A and B are shown apart, each in its own frame.
Chain A
Amino acid sequence: MTKPKVGIFGLTGCAGCQLEILNLEEQVLNLLALIDVSYWRMAQELPADPTNLDIAFIEGSITNEEEIHEVKEIRENANLVITIGSCAGSGGVQGMRNIMDNDKVKAAAYKDLSGVRSVPVKGVDEVIKVDYKIRGCPINRDDFVSIVTSLLLGRQPHVWNSPVCNECSMQNNDCFFERTTETPIYRSNICLGPITEAGCGARCPSNGMPCDGCRGLTSDPHISQLVTEARKRGETTEKILMLAKRYSAGSSAVKKSFEEMR
């Protein structure tokens, strides 16, 4: 069997998802025994052949015209397109400028705007067909290996179809919504675990911080229930939605889920 030819591409993001792949450490070498990486600009100079790919992994969101063009080219050259991380999946944190006053956001960052050419932030599937999305900001390396292995074997990768709360209670964490003490200065009083897709092992609550939804909405999110719960705690709907879209304001599907809720 010839090894599948793979390309790993980075658009606009922090490179954390690609770094998480490098963080497989020696396991990277095991992976390299199964696949033939013909394009990965972050890790190797040569070979650099982004054509005729079996799988293209894309990290980062689309923020300008060149990237729109680039993803179309990747799509034409790949059998399977898999996004890695919430930037590529749904716009990532930089997508928040879509739902803020865009000009003010830009002006705060750059005094001179003449050189800044950008379009509203988009997840990759806003522009091309995406076959599979690996969730998280960043992705989790074990998740990555298990999904890639499934895909290589022609199996459907595991789908959780359940909220982070399920994993959280298995870890015996003290639920943030059930605490009676005052909220400490370092965190929000809202946890997005109830509407967020599991798979991270409830990473944030297990480290003492609320989930802020980096893995995106679960298949049947009870958004209005969460909003009611959060409003009881004195938050406005607007602020709750800004929090809930922290990683996904570049996704029209997510936008639709929230509109349906309203």
Chain B
Amino acid sequence: MSEDKRINLEYIARVEGYGQLVVDIENQQLKEAQFRVLEGARFFEGIVSGKKHHEVPIIISRICAICSVSHSVVSTRAIERAIGVEPSEQTHALRKLLIYSETIQSHVLHEYFLALPDYLGKTSAIDLASTHPELVAKAFYGKKLGNDMQRIIGGRAIHPIRNVIGGFSKFATTEELTNLRDRLPQLIDETMETIKILASLPDQPTIGSRRDFVAIHDPSEYAYYDTDQLISGHSGPFPAADYQEHLLEEIRPYSHTKFSTLKGESFMVGALPRLNLNHANLTETGKEAFEYSRLILPDYDTFHNNMAQLIETVDCAQLSINLLDRFIADGFEKENFEYDLHPGNGTAATEAPRGLLIHQYTFDEDLRCSYSDVITPTAFNQLKMETDCEDLVPRIATKPKEEIELLLNMLVRAYDPCISCSAHSMKVDVKFV
């Protein structure tokens, strides 16, 4: 007689509270997979209501520490659109540099501390330190560099201070920029090595279903920061401002968060979708990393999001070098902050390390926020986590429960659902009915 299993992956989804993935297996068939968000709501869209335009980014970045740069950048950009501010090209370039820095620190932290230990059969990075000290040293090198970049460009590693509506309130010095510039080539070399290691490990069971991907899109570059267009793998580009028409949200009774669908189907956001949709514009160094990875695009396998993050780490390091060289050579121009502000509505879409992030705001005559909408990558990915289970579980249901737990853990971890909601904060609970 076959066993019925209930697998319960609990973790903290920081934005919307306490979350879990519950998987019910009956007769080696998946009965139900539910992603639930249960507790600890913080009501950000509510607490920014009535706040002045310049207060909103400061408050909203507190949604999430590890993505605080993304929240700061996308909120300032959406608010600028709403109230009639068009910052300089220099400001856009500096914000890109901030986003690259965040992507580096977040990807490095996720890959070395959370994902790789699973692949190498370790329980944590601390455990990894005993057998693979060189990997842990690389992790600290990359994470520290990403953090130092955020600190030097943004004024603080977590919850940046200098990125403000219309520009930056202070600039880094040439010495500081040069220091960062000189440390980046080592990160590129070391990440290339890690890509080769990961490419040589046996593959995990694959996610076979060819579900959709969504990312921001710019025809001229591999976009990580604010574009006018979003692109879907199945249905092509559409205007970011129309996201509510395309990415439909529904509420499900077992969870009070909103689930997003595109044409009625689940879709994925994150590094792998970006790579699939925008790979033609990787830097030359990024393309080299892609070669070592041995990925073949389009790649629908969620587990390969880990490899995609490593490729992006290399790409972001190269893009950062390019921008730093420019700022070291040219210096910074003083920003113009003179605008006639007006009421209005504005949207911005950007790529947080773990995927698409959208903010929308309306400001009234008094320049106070009267409406806001924030959709985080983990919210976009929720439904896809469930449909991945539908795909994966039938093929692994006969395995011992420890193995099923590990594979489902690895699956959820591959989404990199925000450190607060991430990995080793997960408790796995299997009940035999």
Chain A interface residues (CB < 8 Å from chain B): 10-17, 19-20, 22-23, 25-26, 29, 32, 41-46, 63-64, 66-67, 92-94, 96-97, 100, 104-118, 137-138, 184-188, 203-204, 207-209, 212, 243, 246
Q: Which of A13, A184, A203 contacts B161 (CB 8 A)?
A: A203
Cα–Cα, bound, A122→B44 (Å): 16
Is B41's CB under 8 angstroms from A16's CB? Answer: no
Is B140's CB under 8 angstroms from A110's CB? Answer: no
Q: Please choose the segment from B182-190, B203-211, B417-425 that sits at the chain A interface, where 4 or more of its residues have CB less than 8 A away.
A: B417-425
Cα–Cα, bound, A19→B147 (Å): 11
Is A137's CB under 8 angstroms from B62's CB? Answer: yes
Interface centre among B47, B54, B424 (most CB of A within 10 A): B47
Is A16's CB under 8 angstroms from B47's CB? Answer: no
Q: Does B344 interact with chain A (Cβ within 8 Å)?
A: no
User: In the complex, given contacts A23-B157, A41-B425, what are 9 additional A-B residue pairs having Cβ atoms less than 8 angstroms apart?
Assistant: A16-B68, A42-B419, A94-B44, A111-B251, A117-B39, A138-B159, A185-B54, A209-B161, A246-B59
Is B123's CB under 8 angstroms from A14's CB? Answer: no
Query: Which of chain B's residues 31-48 have a Cβ closer than 8 Å to chain A?
Result: 38-47
Given the complex, which residues of A lie within 8 Å of B170, measured CB to CB? 207-208
Query: Which of chain B's residues 364-407 have a Cβ closer than 8 Å to chain A?
Result: 371-372
| 16 chain-A/chain-B pairs, Cβ below 8 angstroms | A11-B40, A12-B42, A17-B65, A20-B157, A25-B143, A25-B144, A42-B419, A44-B123, A46-B123, A46-B124, A63-B41, A106-B43, A108-B45, A115-B38, A115-B255, A187-B169
Q: Does B279 interact with chain A (Cβ within 8 Å)?
A: no
Is B162's CB under 8 angstroms from A208's CB? Answer: yes
Is B54's CB under 8 angstroms from A187's CB? Answer: yes
Given the complex, which residues of A lie within 8 Å of B217, measured CB to CB? none
Cα–Cα, bound, A11→B39 (Å): 10
Q: Does B166 interact with chain A (Cβ within 8 Å)?
A: yes
Tell whether A112 pairs with B256 under 8 Å between CB atoms, given A14-B63, A107-B46: yes
Is B39's CB under 8 angstroms from A66's CB? Answer: yes
Q: Does B85 interact with chain A (Cβ within 8 Å)?
A: yes
Is B49's CB under 8 angstroms from A105's CB? Answer: yes
Q: Mark B237-266, 1 if CB is under 8 A from A, else 0.
A: 000000000000001000110100000000
Is A109's CB under 8 angstroms from B123's CB? Answer: no
Given the complex, which residues of A lie within 8 Å of B39, measured CB to CB? 64, 66, 117
User: Least Cβ distance of A252 to chain B in Å?
Assistant: 19
Interface centre among B143, B158, B161, B424 (most CB of A within 10 A): B158
| Nearest opposing residue in chain A for B117, CB measure | A45
Is B420's CB under 8 angstroms from A94's CB? Answer: no
Cα–Cα, bound, A245→B349 (Å): 31
Given the complex, which residues of A lie within 8 Å of B14, measured CB to CB? 13-15
Is B140's CB under 8 angstroms from A185's CB? Answer: no
Is B52's CB under 8 angstroms from A188's CB? Answer: yes
Q: Does B126 interact with chain A (Cβ within 8 Å)?
A: yes
Q: Mark B140-182, 1 if CB is under 8 A from A, else 0.
A: 1001100100000001111101101111011000000000000
Cα–Cα, bound, A99→B287 (Å): 52
Is A186's CB under 8 angstroms from B40's CB? Answer: no
| Nearest opposing residue in chain A for B157, CB measure | A23
Is B425's CB under 8 angstroms from A42's CB? Answer: yes
Given the complex, which residues of B lie within 8 Å of A23, measured CB to CB? 143, 147, 157-158
Tell whether A15 pairs with B169 under 8 Å between CB atoms, given A107-B46, A108-B372: no
Q: Which of B167, B251, B258, B420 contacts A186 (CB 8 A)?
A: B167
Q: Does B58 interact with chain A (Cβ within 8 Å)?
A: yes
Is A187's CB under 8 angstroms from B164's CB? Answer: yes
Cα–Cα, bound, A185→B166 (Å): 8
Given the complex, which residues of A lie within 8 Å of B321, measured CB to CB? none
Tell whether A19 pairs with B45 under 8 Å between CB atoms, given A112-B256, A185-B166: no
Cα–Cα, bound, A207→B258 (Å): 37
Tell whether A42 pairs with B420 under 8 Å between CB atoms, given A14-B68, A15-B64, A104-B49: yes
Tell whether A109 pairs with B159 under 8 Å between CB atoms, given A26-B140, A45-B123, A186-B165: no
Q: Does B341 interact with chain A (Cβ within 8 Å)?
A: yes
Given the complex, which residues of A lie within 8 Å of B53, measured CB to CB? 185
User: Least Cβ distance of A42 to chain B in Å?
Assistant: 5
| Nearest opposing residue in chain B for A28, CB measure | B140
User: Least Cβ distance of B85 to chain A in Å?
Assistant: 7
User: Least Cβ distance of B47 to chain A in Å?
Assistant: 5
Q: Does B275 interact with chain A (Cβ within 8 Å)?
A: no
Given the complex, which residues of B lie within 8 Å of A187, measured CB to CB? 54, 164, 169
User: Least Cβ distance of A243 to chain B in Å?
Assistant: 8
Q: Does B325 interact with chain A (Cβ within 8 Å)?
A: no
